Amino acid sequence: MESDPKTLCFGEDVAFGGVFMCSRGLLDRFGRARVFNTPLSEQGIVGFAIGAAAEGYSPIAEIQFADYIFPAFDQITNEAAKYRYRSGGVYDVGGLTIRAPYGAVGHGGHYHSQSPEAFFTHIPGVKVVMPSGPREAKGLLLAAIREPDPVIFFEAKMLYRTAVEEVPEGDFMLPLGKARIAQAGTDITLVGWGQQVRVLELAAKEVAERDGISCEVIDLRTLVPWDIDTVAASVNKTGRLLVSHEAPLSSGFGAEVVSRITDRCFYALEAPPVRVCGYDIPFPLVYEPLYLPTARRVADAVRHTLQHS
Ligand SMILES: *[C@@H]1O[C@H](CO)[C@@H](O)[C@H](O)[C@H]1NC(C)=O
């Protein structure tokens, strides 16, 4: 916001810091013209943001919980995603960034726990980014804001309170579309994004200690575009693939990863690729511990997959 006076930051409760305190202090530093609260209207927030972006601003619009992004689905998929294309490149809304907290926290129930990323990966024209920690969030968010295409940026609520990490000071960007090898390994490739990367790391630790299995953990970072080459190179090496996300199994982004990697790495695979995901049910409240793809479920799937030989 310091380097670009056309950057705006707004959404429900954003001016006083936001429910997760992500925008704390911004109003004092940048003033009411650039940091402000909106009415409780998601289609209004995104519609306004599209208009501002079309006029050359870089709006950072916040949807307070990803579960409530759906009233703005039309604005995102039919307007933001198509703006450049339908005007033959004359207009675009490339400055647009939409931030939304997603995922389970232990008590959110069905309206404060969902992971809706897959819906937005089906819409050519918007990019989808999901950081796995504070350092990643800073580097990827700055890249998303400066990206010349609209970006949806999902932040794991769980990580707001549990992740502690050194973050580079000053201007720091990470490239969109480049996965990160969170942990190198040789027996199986585990792919995730956002909070689930932490779960995969726990599972990898468990099977390393108990079963001597070596996992390569890949943090996809960006779902659109996603780094097929890094995952394919890993699966060519390990011969096994597991993808995991909190969102329900069916038509989740894991299906896309499995399909594309099966195309590329068919002859390297030594076992069927596996997905460890949420179940195909509304996100449950008291049954959350049974719904979630926990480290225990991932570890069991890893052991099972390693039995194919
Ligand atoms: C993986 O191996 C296949 C051949 O089995 C090859 O076509 C593909 O390029 C390899 N991918 C990478 C990224 O190494």
**pLDDT at 243 exceeding the cut of 80:** yes
- Decide if 131 contacts 140 (C-beta within 8 A): yes
Active site residue 107: no
State the pLDDT confidence band at 113, using cuts at 50, 70 and 90: very high
Query: What's the average model confidence in pLDDT over 250-272?
Result: 98
Please, which residues have CB within 8 angstroms of residue 21's CB and are 6 or more apart in sequence?
none
Query: What's the average model confidence in pLDDT over 257-274?
Result: 98
Active site residue 209: no
- Res 308: pLDDT: 83
- Paired with 98 in beta bridges are 61, 152
What are the residue ranges of helices labelled H in the chain?
Answer: 26-30, 42-54, 73-74, 83-86, 117-120, 134-146, 157-162, 196-211, 228-238, 253-265, 288-291, 295-306
- Res 238: pLDDT: 98
Q: Whose CA is nearest to atom 8 of ligand 1?
A: 264
Task: Domains for the chain: give ranges and CATH numbers.
Answer: 7-162 (3.40.50.970), 180-306 (3.40.50.920)
Say which of 42, 79, 155, 246 is annotated catalytic: 42
Give the other-Cβ count within 10 Å of 297's Cβ.
16
- The owner of tokens 């890893």 is 302
Q: How far is the CA of 229 from the centre of ligand 1 (A)?
A: 8
The b-or-e profile of 150-189 (16+ CB within 10 A means b, else e) is bbbbbbbbbbbeebeeeeeeeeebbebbebbebbebebbb
Give the other-Cβ count within 10 Å of 2's Cβ.
8
Q: How far is CA 176 from CA 69, 70, 118, in A?
A: 22, 24, 17
Instruction: Indicate whether residue 264 lines ligand 1 (CB < 6 A).
Output: yes
- Rounded Cα distance, 96 and 50, in Å: 7
Query: What's the average model confidence in pLDDT over 25-53?
Result: 98
- Rounded Cα distance, 150 and 125, in Å: 7
- Tell me phi and psi for residue 306, to 5 degrees: -70, -15
Say which of 12, 62, 79, 112 is annotated catalytic: 112
- Rounded Cα distance, 185 and 205, in Å: 11
- Rounded Cα distance, 274 and 255, in Å: 9
Choice from 181, 235, 236, 257 to test ligand 1 binding pocket (greatest atom count within 8 A of CB): 236
**pLDDT at 70 exceeding the cut of 80:** yes
Q: How far is the CA of 232 from the centre of ligand 1 (A)?
A: 6
State the pLDDT confidence band at 216, using cuts at 50, 70 and 90: very high
Q: Relative to the CA of 236, which ligand 1 atom is closest?
A: 1
Q: Relative to the CA of 228, which ligand 1 atom is closest?
A: 13
Q: How far is the CA of 266 from the centre of ligand 1 (A)?
A: 9
Q: Is the pTM of this model over 0.95?
A: yes
pLDDT tens-digit series, residues 171-204: 999 999 999 999 999 999 999 999 999 999 999 9
**pLDDT at 309 exceeding the cut of 70:** no
Q: How far is the CA of 199 from the centre of ligand 1 (A)?
A: 28
Q: Relative to the CA of 229, which ligand 1 atom is closest?
A: 13
- Decide if 133 contacts 162 (C-beta within 8 A): no
Instruction: Kindly state the DSSP code that residue 282 receives in the 8-state scheme.
Output: P
- Decide if 276 contacts 297 (C-beta within 8 A): yes
Q: How far is CA 174 from CA 120, 146, 151, in A?
A: 21, 11, 14
* Region of 17 on the Ramachandran plot (φ > 0 left; ψ -120 to 50 alpha; else beta): left
